[in-house]
Amino acid sequence: MSKQGKLKIIPLGGLGEVGKNMTAYEFKNQILVVDAGIMFPRNDMLGIDYIIPDYEYLRQKAHQVVGIVITHGHEDHIGAIHHLLNDVSAPIYATPLTRGLIEVKLARHNGSASKAMLNTVQAGDTVEIGAFKVDFFHICHSIPDSVGLGITTPAGLVVHMSDFKFDHTPVDGWPTDYAKLAELSKRGVDLLLSDSTNSERPGWTPSEMVIGPAFDKVFTEAKGRVIIATFASLISRIQQVADAAAKHGRKMALAGSSMVDNVKIARKLGYLEIPDTVLVSLDQALQMQDHKVVLMCTGSQGEPSSIVGRLSAGTNRQFDLKSNDTVVLSSHPIPGNEETISNTINRLLRRGAIVIYDSLAPVHVSGHASQEEQKLLINIVKPKHFLPIHGELRQLKRHGAIAVELGIPESNVIVVENGQVVELSGGKIKLGERIPGGYVFVDGQSIGDIDYDIMRERGKLARNGIFLIDVTVDKLNGRLLHDPEIITRGFVSPEDAEEMIPEVRQRIMSVVNGGGWDNEKDIVNAVKSYLYEETKRRPMVLVTLSKG
């Protein structure tokens, strides 16, 4: 079949980072969006709740978006939907569980639920969405009901493999649809996009089966409560905990609204099988004997605002840590979170808990394909071109190298980061334009108003503290009316600050009364240079100037 037209592949998120996945496909003024996720902030992104993709490109062409396809229900794929729906009105396509999780999310953000046009698709369906014919097929991951996509346009066939692993014994007993991959392969795949998360990991990712025995051991040895932390959307893990609870005669309770809501919808739709006799409310669980209880909660990344974060700090409201608790962190650190997690583990240990995490016992397996699975995918699909997605640059590069090892010509492997458009036309691939592909920070109610300058300021305040100076000058002759008032916070000890204040006053007076100044900045600079001489630190210096 001859190829017609040009398909643009527009990576808006997830390429060059872990999180906020979003890819757009554009053919003849029609745009199909795949996924709309969030990313969790790094340690140095102070005060940021989460980050969403910069989808300005979609905002500009909002009326051209014909559909939003969501591959699975993890936050890094659905978390930004309610933001996207504020700017783009298009039908959403998702499998039943993914749809359910999207509905839970939308319900929490009043207003966006009514705008959403949700369509349920089943793995195995083919749906025409504008110029795009989309084949949805089942893939294994750490959440049930995940799909890969075959996207057919006149310009060619693209296979979009979102997060996947080739697990032959998944928790839900539903392996990847290899036959569909083979069928797509037979049709001739022009471009394969594939999950790069574990491209640095040799071998195969272990099956989720291995967690069963690890949980057995934990449940057998735990003398008191078992507290298991994972992501609220790691539905498969929640099933495994429920199974272990049933087997070991413990009752399971869920802490945290996201966990409660997700479990409710997944049970209703039949993706979680937890007998009513196993599940109890948190209040009930807290009344029971410790060795009869397992609590599931969030906070496996050590987030301070999560339940485990608060337990480690002794600030959780509903219940506190007990010395015979066993805390299991059932997840792998997201890059950048290692330090926070390590601190959390230390704090939990200090408070007397037994802590089990993935380097001590296989209480977590990755939901992402390792190298041998990535190779198997490429060998089944036999794509003409290859574009690694879902990973930091080093992971994308490694994945690209794997494709070359398997015989895909180097010129047909294209490694790009967010914002670099790729074009497929005439059966060939090339780089297109560059568009914005950065971060949009969400901080409470404010979206996108926070930028790096503000974060740098927050960092500076956190590191070096603040020095406040109140200056009142005579409006006629510009001389000081009284001694400058000075307050410092977080800079040096109050005693040390006290010692410096006379000299600071002296410097302010000589600048102001000497007349060699135009505005507050000159005072700030004079004070700053002195403070740096004395302490080798640069606190934030703020001067308020009034005229009397």
Residues forming contacts to Zn ion in the complex (CB under 5 A) are 74, 76, 163
Residue 351 or residue 368: which is nearer to Zn ion going by CB?
A: 368
Residue 163 or residue 167: which is nearer to Zn ion going by CB?
A: 163
As given in the structure block, the two tokens for residue 229 are 């932390």
Residue 76 or residue 373: which is nearer to Zn ion going by CB?
A: 76
Residue 233 or residue 340: which is nearer to Zn ion going by CB?
A: 233
Residue 74 or residue 250: which is nearer to Zn ion going by CB?
A: 74
Cα 109 to chain centroid, rounded: 18
CA within 13 Å, CB half, 374:
34
Give residue for tokens 């492997």.
413
- Return the ∠ at Cα 179 (arms to 177 and 180), rounded to 5°: 70
Cα 416 to chain centroid, rounded: 20
In whole angstroms, the minimum distance from the beta carbon of 73 to Zn ion comes to 8
In whole angstroms, the minimum distance from the beta carbon of 125 to Zn ion comes to 20
> Beta partners for 147?
138
In whole angstroms, the minimum distance from the beta carbon of 352 to Zn ion comes to 34
C-alpha to C-alpha distance for 322 and 29, rounded to whole angstroms: 59
C-alpha to C-alpha distance for 5 and 392, rounded to whole angstroms: 31
In whole angstroms, the minimum distance from the beta carbon of 164 to Zn ion comes to 9
CA within 13 Å, CB half, 158:
32
In whole angstroms, the minimum distance from the beta carbon of 143 to Zn ion comes to 6
Q: Using alpha carbons, list the distances in angstroms from residue 57 to 19, 35, 50, 53, 440.
A: 19, 15, 20, 11, 13
For residue 183, report the phi and psi dihedrals to the nearest 5 degrees: -65, -45
Q: Which residues of 508-524 are buried (b: 16+ CB within 10 A; e: fewer)?
A: beebbeeeebeeeeebb
C-alpha to C-alpha distance for 211 and 274, rounded to whole angstroms: 18
In whole angstroms, the minimum distance from the beta carbon of 316 to Zn ion comes to 28
Residue 164 or residue 357: which is nearer to Zn ion going by CB?
A: 164
C-alpha to C-alpha distance for 429 and 156, rounded to whole angstroms: 11
Give residue for tokens 């996924």.
35
In whole angstroms, the minimum distance from the beta carbon of 77 to Zn ion comes to 6
For residue 286, report the phi and psi dihedrals to the nearest 5 degrees: -70, -15
C-alpha to C-alpha distance for 105 and 144, rounded to whole angstroms: 17
Q: Do the beta carbons of residue 19 and residue 39 sit within 8 Å?
A: yes
Residue 23 or residue 312: which is nearer to Zn ion going by CB?
A: 23
Q: Using alpha carbons, list the distances in angstroms from residue 250 to 45, 201, 218, 259.
A: 40, 36, 12, 19
In whole angstroms, the minimum distance from the beta carbon of 455 to Zn ion comes to 25
CB atoms within 10 A of CB 458: 17
Residue 161 or residue 356: which is nearer to Zn ion going by CB?
A: 161
In whole angstroms, the minimum distance from the beta carbon of 434 to Zn ion comes to 24
In whole angstroms, the minimum distance from the beta carbon of 435 to Zn ion comes to 22
Residue 74 or residue 251: which is nearer to Zn ion going by CB?
A: 74
What percent helix, strand, coil does the chain show, rounded to 5?
35, 25, 40
Residue 152 or residue 331: which is nearer to Zn ion going by CB?
A: 331
